[in-house]
Amino acid sequence: MFHDKENEKTCRIPFTPGQSVREILDTTGTRVRSGCNGSGACGLCRIRLIAGEVRGPAPKEQCLLDETQRLSGVRLACQLVPEGDLAIEVLSPARKSPWRSLPAESFYQVREDCAVRAEQAACGCGDNYGIAVDLGTTQISLSLISFRSGKRIAGRCGINPQAGDGADVMTRLVAASGSEVRARAMSGQVISAIGEGIQDIASREGIDLQRVTRLSLVGNTAMLALLTSRNYELLVRPASWMGAIDCMPEDTGAWKSAWEIPVGSTVEVLPPAGGFVGSDLLAGVLATGLDRSARPRLLIDFGTNSEIALWDGKALHVTSAAGGPAFEGCGMRCGLPAEPGAIYRVRFAGGIAECGTIAGEKARGLCGTGIVDLIAGLIRSGILTEKGQFAPAFAETGFVLAGGDPVLVLGKNDVDLFQRAKAAVGAGISILMGEAGIRLADLDNVFVGGTFGKALDIPGAMAIGLLPPVSPDRIELCGNTALAGCELAVFSPSASDRLRRMAEQARVINLAGHRDFEDIYLDNLYLRPLEGT
């Protein structure tokens, strides 16, 4: 529990043992000041211990805090590691920022091979940095990596400012295609946003951006085309959806200036496979090692533009499913992106819904995993049918999850929106499997990337047809595989080359042009397990 002095509020935060107070606060909307990446050198991250058992001041606290401060309970947040419940007061809050620190558990542990590790160790980059950027439809995620240590220094996540032009990719593409001025403005919005995220890391972690030597960026095809202002108009034409889209930048000099990184640094935009299948999916294939097996494997990267990759043991089949922003908690009356205050877990006990929120803050809405939990729970409780219809007692009001301010209600329109997103993904899985001649029972592994992170309830997701009904021990919740694969590309030119070869060799399947898409899509609207021979 901590007291936010600036905003005069008290918050409760669940945490994983082993994290410092600074790391715990970084997952909330209230961060503590810092300028040394948590090393304890700056002495800025001051808090006051109000209650709780802790160890005595660390050596760096002895040096940077005088005796009066220590006796009054003042501690450095980066040096204090809770072993149990604490109550603290934040004395030095950081300036407010739209960028949130990415918690360590949101990152995917890359299955990198020995060749990449050896190349990384021999890269000769010295004490320099690399930056990885995952340009998503709803959110932009980025991380800063030390070449010397081979480790991630920090990560950030923020809202893609193009959301003002539409929550989904097609709405934005139509807006850009109708106005060159609007298209340039949308490109500038993203370039500025990435720069703000980089600056947030640099100022908070005490990083000299002149030591950045490489930046790699991945994203879905639409986002890359809107970023570079190249060929975005092709994506509104169905005839272009099967072929490769050239959306590579002609010059990145202005980007480097906007991001305040050296003129001589390398900025690399990794190419998409074709149609709406972007380099973010291919980066996920790279990170998970999806294609490093003789057995069939599936990767589902959930998001506003969900993408799916199937490795059949010899070839890579890929597609995209335009499910809309439901998985991001957007477009729903009760929806909220995965941020502090979002309900990420719902459990029914004795007919009552019990909720868990991100950072333990007051519930303000449901993010993707919370919506999946709620719908699965309502199906099990008989309040919702597999057709997505409410029982008579809830037909007019929907299901009231929480009263008060705000009132959180899951209505029929919200369920419809979720069903359409789920059906698009389900159809994508079914069509890829059919085209490759693979049965669900043949899948060796199913990797789940993207917006659901690592909090998705697997049994509930399988019960409503969001995930294939395979043994749960074959499903791995990975979090942001796109950012993890992009980090590999930053570290390793050979990994970057491998991703480019994937883009050239992958078999792109256009769902909208598939002969059986409509029938398969309609069948997947039902909230029931996926079917597959």
3-state secondary structure 325-353: HHHHCCCCCCECCCCCCEEEEEEEECCEE
Q: Is residue 273 part of a domain?
A: yes
Same domain, 209 and 244: yes
Same domain, 143 and 44: no
Instruction: Look at 76-85, 106-115, 254-263, 275-284 and tell me which has the smallest mean pLDDT.
Output: 106-115
Does position 406 have pLDDT exceeding 50, yes or no?
yes
Same domain, 131 and 272: yes
Same domain, 202 and 237: yes
Same domain, 143 and 69: no
Q: Is residue 147 part of a domain?
A: yes
From 64, 90, 116, give the residue that closes a domain: 90
**Which has the higher per-residue pLDDT, 490 or 3?**
490
Does position 24 have pLDDT exceeding 90, yes or no?
no
Instruction: Give the pLDDT confidence of 209-246 residue by residue, as tens digits.
Output: 999 999 999 999 999 999 999 999 999 998 888 888 99
Q: Which amino acid is at 243?
A: G
Same domain, 269 and 147: yes
Q: Is residue 298 part of a domain?
A: no
Here the CATH number for the domain that contains residue 67 is 3.10.20.30
Same domain, 71 and 114: no
From 62, 90, 118, give the residue that closes a domain: 90
Q: Is residue 505 part of a domain?
A: no
- Categorize the per-residue pLDDT at 339 as very low, low, confident or very high, splitting at 50, 70 and 90: confident
Instruction: Give the pLDDT confidence of 294-328 residue by residue, as tens digits.
Output: 999 999 999 888 999 999 999 999 999 987 778 88
- Categorize the per-residue pLDDT at 18 as very low, low, confident or very high, splitting at 50, 70 and 90: confident
Q: Is residue 527 part of a domain?
A: no
Same domain, 120 and 266: yes
How many structural domains are present in the chain? Answer: 3
Q: Is residue 425 part of a domain?
A: no
Give the separation between CA 519 and CA 416, rounded to whole angstroms: 18
Same domain, 146 and 242: yes
The residue segments making up the domain with residue 73 are 2-90
Cβ-based burial of 327 (10 A; exposed 0-12, middle 13-18, buried ≥19): buried
Contact predicate 96/49, CB 8 Å? no
Q: Is residue 518 part of a domain?
A: no
From 385, 410, 435, give the residue that closes a domain: 410
Same domain, 83 and 106: no
Average pLDDT value for the chain: 90
Predicted TM-score of the model (pTM): 0.86
Same domain, 86 and 155: no
How large is the average pLDDT for residues 200-209?
A: 91
Same domain, 83 and 161: no
Q: Is residue 513 part of a domain?
A: no
Nearest to 309 by CA among 506, 482, 444: 506
Here the CATH number for the domain that contains residue 189 is 3.30.420.480
Nearest to 488 by CA among 286, 316, 293, 300: 286
Across 91-243, the runs of DSSP E, i.e. the strands, are 100-101, 129-135, 139-146, 151-159, 212-219
